[in-house]
Chain A
Amino acid sequence: MNRRNFLRTGGALSLPLFAHNPLSAHLARSLSSLVNPDLDRVLVLVQLNGGNDGLNTIIPLDQYANLMAVRENLMIPENQLLAIDHDLAFHPSATGMHQLYQDGKMATVQGVAYPDQNRSHFRSTDIWTSASSATEVINTGWLGRFYQADHPDFPQDYPNEDCPHPFAIAVGNQVSQTCQGVGTNFSMAVSNPFNLLALAGGDDTPLPEDPYGEELGFLRTSIAQANAYGELVQSFAEQGSSLVEYPDNRFASQLQNVAYMISGGLRTNVYVVSLGGFDTHANQVVPGTPTTGAHAELMTELGDALAAFQEDLTQQGLEEKVLTMTFSEFGRRIRSNESFGSDHGTAAPLFLLGSCVQAGVLGENAEISPDAEVNEGVALQYDFRDIYGTVFEDWFNLEPATVNDLLGHEYVHLPIIAGCDSPNSTNDGPIRDLEVQLWPNPTSDLAQIRFVIDGGLTNLSIIDVLGRQLQTVFSRNLPAGEHQFELNLSNYSKGTYFVRLQAGASVASRRLIKR
């Protein structure tokens, strides 16, 4: 191997090497090909930057009175909400989302977050994009590791005969952290697929063995790749079509461009689009007219564009190829603030869209107390890594063991994808009511919990209002039937806690007050 090639692969573009990566041992074992090359499924990720206020996106009507007690200045009159089943209703501006739900093209997962919630935008975004736990720092993205395992030498010698198309496309000027590999990012940033320019790269001279050589190597490879993929992306976009009218805004045009690229035949598996502005600390609603304001505009922009995109896919016969999924770094607090806004919180709903989703609502409506604490967030029900894991398994057909390796987490398969020849979507047991009873509540030190399960791995934990996991009471296999356990809060100060019970895909979260 000559010096130049060595630097290209070993120096310029790599890498916090495997040895430094907590997930490396798993990856090293799973270097055989993960993905069936003929798989033509597409995942469209919709990143909602800033932390979406789930409680004002899809409102639990059974909690409406209590919500009025704690966030009255944000609340929309009940008769203007767009009701669905499960005692839930969409924001009146989210007509697009409401329509998708009514058409059976939306799966809503309630209370999605992770244990030990971090309320920093940057850190929590890193957690969501890397699929790390809250207590470890991982510099690779959850999708980046997926590609890395099959393509350890990327970008050296890519594109090639076997992989002629970009793996992932981030629509905009920035690559997506979800696609960060150990050394390079697997996504190509495309702000406009119809206007891609061929770049000259300069010469291919030997690279000096120093930082300058490293950066120069990175630049040359970036230029070469931009050219190789650019020509291709544009030609496929030009062959594509879009059959419906989209709203006239940046977010919608991102999705429309994705529709062009997919329908044109580009074999890219992942597209990432984004919509910002969800960090609504102030003026989330216009004082006095809560149906208007920043969040209402976002709901319109998000819902209308997603509805147009789905309709476009349907009309072009592509809907069974494409799964769309939203994510946001956190939800917002239950109590609103005095600035007609809401502050960084914990869990929020996550939406999966398309004709291959298990339409409906997974999870319970959040329990809102009129005494909610100032810092209290919506309680965690589902770990986002369980959703990622299910997408890997059901949508990209990965083996469960491989998925655990990629995520560095034993995920629980969730019933969110159905039909469209998803092999695993029928394996789930039913979601059941765990019939949780919790008493005395309030309590001084001890409380009893009783519940009913179908049997299997069961977790019980105590979480505080900030989302910190204080105690794992147990995590083990339990037989089917009724169980009772004692909870000990004697080490905790007075206040509000959440007791979270997970048995397979069934979850319950209950407020427990210590006084």
Chain B
Amino acid sequence: MGQTAFSATLTDLAPYQGEWTAAQLTHLLRRTGYGTLKSEVDQLLDMGMDAAVDALLADQQLPSPPINYEFANDPNVPIGETWINQPLVDGVNVNNYRRASLRAWMIDVIRKERLSIRETMVLFWTNHFGIANVNQPQVRYDYHSLLQAYALGNFRDLIKEITINPAMLSFLNGNQNNVNSPNENYSRELLELFTIGKGPQIGEGDYTNYTEDDVRALARALTGWRTRYFGSTDPNNMPESFFDANRHDTTDKQLSYHFNDDIISDGGELEYQQVIDRIFEEDEVARFICRKLYRHFVYYKISDAEETEIIEAMAQIMIANDYELRPVMAALLKSEHFYDFDNRGPMIKNPMQFTMGLLRTFGYDHLEADLRQDRRILQAYFSRSAGMDMDYFNPPSVAGWEAYYQAPGFYRIWINSSTLQERSRLTNQLTANGFNLGGLRFNFDWLGWIQGIPNSTDPNDLIQGITSILLPRDLTEGQLANLKEALIPGLPDFEWTVEYGMYLESPDDEDLRAAVLTKLLDLFRAVFNLAEFQLV
């Protein structure tokens, strides 16, 4: 939006050589995960940058599946067991509890994730494919776990899997695409949004990278795929996709000059792979996805210089590595450019970064909640994110959330008077009474948390410690002074030292505890209310 040409360091993705302090490390953690855990900072700081990035990119065990945590009327799924392979039930709505379970599970996976970029990549893909309104939770689960499995895998392989995934076949009507009545919905988005991208229109039906005729030709090549057993109550017939040769168009599919006038000949059940392989022969696919990665992990503005130096370098790495994601992400996250000071802090948090950042940073580990209470609190977080306009399982369109593609606003689209209030409502609630679920109060262990901050008995060190973890950049002296005013209004520094010290000596004294906590919550509320807290 701004016309000012800021020039972050451009070095063709040259490796970062500068100092490796908490400032660089927390930048890395905030952009690749949700929030900043002290345990993660401690672990990665001594490793150095290379090893830290490698650790975040390492393969992780996939999470165990969601379970039934409260619904007693599913004859196939006792409480405590998973429902992902169990059919629906005649006369009993089991989708509702499963949907709730899936939401809570998704949040739980993020909450428990440690030292990994995976769940941030899953969000990237969730945004990339934009699948919404999948009514049957097990179909959504299968799709979601596909994104988890391929989070850092091979982009081409992921697109192949997505193309015949039941959720996608249903979402973009691929399951209705047949020789007699081709449906172009999927082939259009495959080109426009998922792989090569739509360039400027340079002729009638010609979008620089492909033509309308290519959309039609690819639709015909993808005919024959169907879905079945959605809504099935038969354990032997669970939702799946399958190939119906009778519905497949076996004639040649002529592509345009953008694809070298190539022809896709009948490949039957495997023809979809020919389609994907052919699209991926075009280098523009790498540029397209690398631009999106850049927007997700670095900044929304891509200058001409960044396009030629950074995006192109990323694309070349991707091509050289046969469309593997990991080498590209490693090069980006280890680059001088990524750690450039200009790239530290100008990203407005998406609602998941806002809510999950709080949840992961502060956690409820101290609570002895039962499973059902715990899952309800996780569902509450899911809903709060949705209330801030990011319903994780329902992106607003196949293009994903506008903040990742809509010029000129991009990330700013997350912010308006209504969503700002939603964000404040959450932090105000957390710094007041927390969540009240069935009489049980859920709140963070604020007092326990600050014990991890060095020298927290000194109010200046306490504020410095909190803000350096929660905010992307240092505050000014004046801002720090204002925060101290929130903590100890009109009082000399030693009053915090004294009162907090008394509490530490007698942590079981409820009066001392309440007095200190009230002041501490005033401080946290003031930090959360800073405009800076919206940034990573």
Chain A residues within CB distance 8 Å of chain B: 11-12, 14-17, 120-122, 135, 139, 172-175, 180, 183, 185, 188-191, 196-197, 199-203, 205-206, 209-212, 214-216, 218-220, 222-223, 225-226, 229-230, 281-282, 337-339, 343, 468
Residues in A with CB closer than 8 Å to B95 are none
Closest to A470 in B: B204
Residues in B with CB closer than 8 Å to A11 are 2, 4
Residues in B with CB closer than 8 Å to A220 are 531
User: How many contacts between A and B, using CB within 8 angstroms?
Assistant: 147
> A211 near B479 (CB under 8 angstroms)?
no
The segment from B14-22, B249-257, B344-352, B358-366 that touches chain A is B344-352
> B1 near A183 (CB under 8 angstroms)?
yes
Option from A188, A202, A230 in Cβ contact (under 8 Å) with B479: A202
> B479 near A189 (CB under 8 angstroms)?
no
> B473 near A212 (CB under 8 angstroms)?
yes
- A173 and B397 contact, Cβ closer than 8 Å, known pairs A216-B535, A226-B421: no
Q: How far is the CA of A14 from the CA of B428 in the complex (A)?
A: 31
Q: Can you spell out 21 A-B residue pairs with CB atoms less than 8 angstroms apart?
A: A185-B409, A188-B417, A189-B416, A196-B421, A200-B529, A201-B529, A202-B479, A203-B530, A210-B6, A211-B299, A212-B344, A212-B473, A214-B2, A215-B347, A215-B411, A216-B535, A219-B415, A222-B415, A225-B417, A230-B417, A343-B185
- A215 and B6 contact, Cβ closer than 8 Å, known pairs A120-B192, A173-B419: no
Q: How far is the CA of A343 from the CA of B299 in the complex (A)?
A: 36
Q: Mark B414-437, 1 if CB is under 8 A from A, else 0.
A: 011111111011001000000000
Q: How far is the CA of A222 from the CA of B428 in the complex (A)?
A: 18
Residues in B with CB closer than 8 Å to A12 are 2
> A281 near B2 (CB under 8 angstroms)?
no
Residues in A with CB closer than 8 Å to B201 are 135
Residues in B with CB closer than 8 Å to A338 are 176, 181
Option from B342, B346, B417, B479 in Cβ contact (under 8 Å) with A190: B417
Closest to A277 in B: B133
Q: Mark B369-382, 1 if CB is under 8 A from A, else 0.
A: 00000000000000
> B176 near A189 (CB under 8 angstroms)?
no
- A218 and B397 contact, Cβ closer than 8 Å, known pairs A15-B3, A205-B476, A210-B346: no
> A200 near B526 (CB under 8 angstroms)?
yes
Q: A225-B417, A226-B416 are in contact. List 5 more A-B contacts (CB 8 A).
A: A135-B201, A139-B408, A188-B416, A215-B346, A222-B417
Q: How far is the CA of A216 from the CA of B347 in the complex (A)?
A: 10
Most buried by B among A15, A196, A216: A216
> B532 near A216 (CB under 8 angstroms)?
yes
Q: How far is the CA of A209 from the CA of B5 in the complex (A)?
A: 10
B132 → chain A closest CB, angstroms:
11
Q: How far is the CA of A218 from the CA of B411 in the complex (A)?
A: 11
Q: Is B472 an interface residue, CB under 8 A from the partner?
A: yes
A81 → chain B closest CB, angstroms:
27
Q: How far is the CA of A192 from the CA of B410 in the complex (A)?
A: 24
Query: Closest 6 A-B residue pairs measured CB to CB?
Result: A226-B417, A211-B346, A202-B530, A200-B529, A219-B531, A189-B416
> B535 near A212 (CB under 8 angstroms)?
yes
Closest to A202 in B: B530
B419 → chain A closest CB, angstroms:
6
Residues in A with CB closer than 8 Å to B515 are none
Q: Is B173 an interface residue, CB under 8 A from the partner?
A: yes
Closest to B420 in A: A226
Most buried by B among A15, A135, A175, A229: A175
Closest to A20 in B: B3
Option from B3, B343, B344 in Cβ contact (under 8 Å) with A17: B3
> A214 near B176 (CB under 8 angstroms)?
no
B302 → chain A closest CB, angstroms:
12
Q: Is B399 an interface residue, CB under 8 A from the partner?
A: yes
> B389 near A174 (CB under 8 angstroms)?
yes
Residues in B with CB closer than 8 Å to A223 are 420, 531
Q: How far is the CA of A11 from the CA of B5 in the complex (A)?
A: 11
Q: Is B183 an interface residue, CB under 8 A from the partner?
A: yes
A11 → chain B closest CB, angstroms:
6
69-88 of chain B: CB within 8 A of chain A: none
Q: How far is the CA of A237 from the CA of B424 in the complex (A)?
A: 22
> B419 near A215 (CB under 8 angstroms)?
no
Residues in A with CB closer than 8 Å to B415 are 218-219, 222
Q: Is B490 an interface residue, CB under 8 A from the partner?
A: no
Option from A15, A200, A230, A468 in Cβ contact (under 8 Å) with B1: A15
A470 → chain B closest CB, angstroms:
9
Q: Mark B393-414, 1 if CB is under 8 A from A, else 0.
A: 0000101000000011101110
Residues in B with CB closer than 8 Å to A201 are 529, 531
Residues in B with CB closer than 8 Å to A173 are 387-389, 416, 418-419, 422
> A212 near B526 (CB under 8 angstroms)?
no
Q: How far is the CA of A210 from the CA of B4 in the complex (A)?
A: 8
Q: How far is the CA of A17 from the CA of B428 in the complex (A)?
A: 38
Q: Is B534 an interface residue, CB under 8 A from the partner?
A: yes
Q: Is B448 an interface residue, CB under 8 A from the partner?
A: no
- A337 and B408 contact, Cβ closer than 8 Å, known pairs A120-B192, A211-B6, A281-B173: no
Residues in B with CB closer than 8 Å to A172 are 418
Q: How far is the CA of A226 from the CA of B415 in the complex (A)?
A: 10
Q: Is B482 an interface residue, CB under 8 A from the partner?
A: yes
Option from B397, B479, B535 in Cβ contact (under 8 Å) with A215: B535
A70 → chain B closest CB, angstroms:
14
> B346 near A174 (CB under 8 angstroms)?
no
Residues in B with CB closer than 8 Å to A121 are 397
> B418 near A203 (CB under 8 angstroms)?
no
Residues in A with CB closer than 8 Å to B478 are 203, 205
- A174 and B4 contact, Cβ closer than 8 Å, known pairs A212-B346, A212-B473: no
Option from A175, A219, A230, A343 in Cβ contact (under 8 Å) with B534: A219
Closest to B193 in A: A122
Residues in A with CB closer than 8 Å to B346 are 210-212, 214-215
> B299 near A174 (CB under 8 angstroms)?
no
Closest to B472 in A: A212
Residues in A with CB closer than 8 Å to B418 are 172-173, 189-191
Q: How far is the CA of A11 from the CA of B3 in the complex (A)?
A: 8
Q: Is B301 an interface residue, CB under 8 A from the partner?
A: yes
Q: Mark B327-352, 1 if CB is under 8 A from A, else 0.
A: 00000000000000111111110000
Option from A16, A281, A468 in Cβ contact (under 8 Å) with B408: A16
Q: How far is the CA of A226 from the CA of B423 in the complex (A)?
A: 13
Option from B348, B473, B532 in Cβ contact (under 8 Å) with A202: B532
Residues in A with CB closer than 8 Å to B387 are 173
Q: How far is the CA of A275 from the CA of B183 in the complex (A)?
A: 26
A114 → chain B closest CB, angstroms:
15
Q: How far is the CA of A1 from the CA of B475 in the complex (A)?
A: 24
Q: How far is the CA of A188 from the CA of B409 in the complex (A)?
A: 15
Residues in A with CB closer than 8 Å to B416 are 173-175, 185, 188-189, 222, 226
Q: How far is the CA of A139 from the CA of B419 in the complex (A)?
A: 22
Residues in B with CB closer than 8 Å to A183 are 1, 408
> B1 near A189 (CB under 8 angstroms)?
no
Residues in A with CB closer than 8 Å to B344 are 212
A360 → chain B closest CB, angstroms:
36
Residues in B with CB closer than 8 Å to A210 are 6, 341-342, 346
Closest to B535 in A: A215
Closest to B533 in A: A202
Q: How far is the CA of A120 from the CA of B189 in the complex (A)?
A: 10
Q: How far is the CA of A189 from the CA of B344 in the complex (A)?
A: 29
Closest to A276 in B: B396
Residues in A with CB closer than 8 Å to B345 are 212, 215-216
Closest to A121 in B: B397
